[in-house]
A = this chain, B = another copy of it.
């Protein structure tokens, strides 16, 4: 199961390969939150030496997926509900800014892209796959690509970058704890946003986005307690 939400352009170095593998494993939960990471073990497992593994750690630490304590250990960032709420609030705020700036400048090609992503989301729901991990993942991919397409229209390089930087962390939480976000109701909100944008009603599109964001943030409030950590 490969995620490919965020990806280092073309992975040319071994460091890039390691970053991508580990990011996928962390986001999908194959490496559970809190898992301790020993660099030699990972190196053997991935068929590389310790050096690129260590460099990959520095990258993942910057993305917030890994926590490092110098000279002691590294581990997959545990899921803390308070921190996650903060994360989702900031991400929603940035996405909203992207909507405001991007919606007025969307090209026909970008509108088609939006429709395609909604279709993709709809396919998951119509097949009843939203409870299986693969289905959830596919829907999350579609949803994130949907938002990202709108933000890209804002033509603000930094805004695009800062939202992409946090995407993996957001995706992990939704995938592991967000049972209710990927749902027929979620699909309807995406469809409503698309419809509003298509007829040029940006106010209404924003209103629907706000509903979506509120639903997402609510997950971190009355959220289930974090999964038991099997530190290994």
Instruction: Decide if A4 is an interface residue (CB 8 Å cutoff).
Output: no
Q: Mark A51-76, 1 if CB is under 8 A from B, else 0.
A: 10011001100111000001100000
Q: What is the interface size of chain A, counting residues whose CB is below 8 A from a CB of the partner?
A: 29
How many angstroms from the CA of A145 to the CA of B71 in the assembled complex?
30
Give A51 to B53 CA distance when docked, in angstroms.
Answer: 12
Residue of B nearest to A90 (CB): B158
What CA separation (Å) do A213 and B202 show in the bound complex?
Answer: 26
Copies in the complex: 2
User: Which of B55, B64, B86 makes the CB contact (< 8 A) with A54?
Assistant: B55
Q: How far is the CA of A94 from the CA of B96 in the complex (A)?
A: 12
Bound together, the chains give a CA A39 to CA B59 distance in angstroms of: 18
A13 contacts across to B, CB distance below 8 A: 70-71
Contacts of A12 in B (CB 8 A): 70-71
5 new A-B pairs (CB below 8 Å) besides A58-B62, A62-B63?
Answer: A13-B71, A55-B55, A58-B58, A58-B59, A93-B97
